[in-house]
């Protein structure tokens, strides 16, 4: 296949091929939550989440700049909570990803120490305050300083791989 280049000399990568190839790398599924000023739970489903640093404790997630859910979270303030979904929470993942309003209708949660929603049944949760925002193409890199964290009620994590949800079974 011939390589075409942009004006910078960088190769042009077809977005469909990029997504297909990177789909071979499984990711965990998290829901990032916060409360708006009126106390309504906000959230967005994220597949690009990672630990960054132990000292200081930092994590990161990478939302699409054009996401209305990301805009609402950003406008809610600097604090957020990352909920690592369990294998049995695909319905939660889909509901938060698809609903435009009232995302937490029929999804149970309790407040974190910082007041953010901790989703019932999550494998773990990480309460954070935004440390840095970086532009990265059509996404942002949100680096959060960990304030509180804990294992949750869930058993095994929900994974996303090649367009499907699944779970992890250790050898």
Strands (E), the chain: 27-28, 30-35, 41-46, 49-53, 58-61, 79-84, 109-111, 117-119, 124-136, 139-151, 158-161, 164-167
User: For residue 75, which of 46, 37, 38 has the smallest C-alpha distance?
Assistant: 37
Tokens of 79: 């604090």
pLDDT at 161: 86
pLDDT at 136: 96
Question: Any idea what DSSP says for residue 153?
Answer: S
Q: What is the mean pLDDT of the chain?
A: 91
Fold classified for 27-162: Pnp Oxidase; Chain A (2.30.110)
Three-class SS state of 38: coil
Asked whether the predicted pLDDT for residue 108 surpasses 90, the reply is yes
Asked whether the predicted pLDDT for residue 1 surpasses 60, the reply is no
The 10s digit of each residue's pLDDT in 25-73 is 778 899 999 999 999 999 999 999 999 999 999 999 999 999 999 999 9
pLDDT at 6: 62
pLDDT at 154: 73
């Amino acid at each position: 296949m011939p390589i075409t280049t942009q004006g910078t000399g960088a190769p042009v990568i077809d977005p469909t091929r990029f997504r297909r190839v990177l789909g071979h790398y499984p990711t965990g599924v998290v829901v990032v939550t916060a409360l708006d000023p009126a106390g309504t739970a906000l959230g967005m489903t994220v597949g690009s989440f990672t630990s960054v640093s132990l000292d200081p404790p930092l994590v990161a997630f990478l939302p699409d700049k054009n996401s209305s859910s990301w805009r609402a979270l950003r406008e809610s303030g600097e604090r957020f909570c990352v909920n690592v979904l369990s294998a049995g929470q695909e319905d939660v993942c889909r509901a938060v990803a698809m609903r435009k309003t009232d995302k937490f209708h029929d999804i149970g949660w309790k407040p974190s120490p910082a007041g953010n929603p901790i989703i019932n049944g999550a494998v773990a949760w990480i309460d954070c305050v935004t440390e840095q925002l970086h532009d990265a193409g059509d996404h942002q890199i949100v680096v959060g300083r960990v304030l509180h964290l804990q294992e949750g009620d869930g058993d095994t994590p929900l994974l996303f791989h090649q367009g499907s949800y699944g779970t992890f079974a250790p050898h």
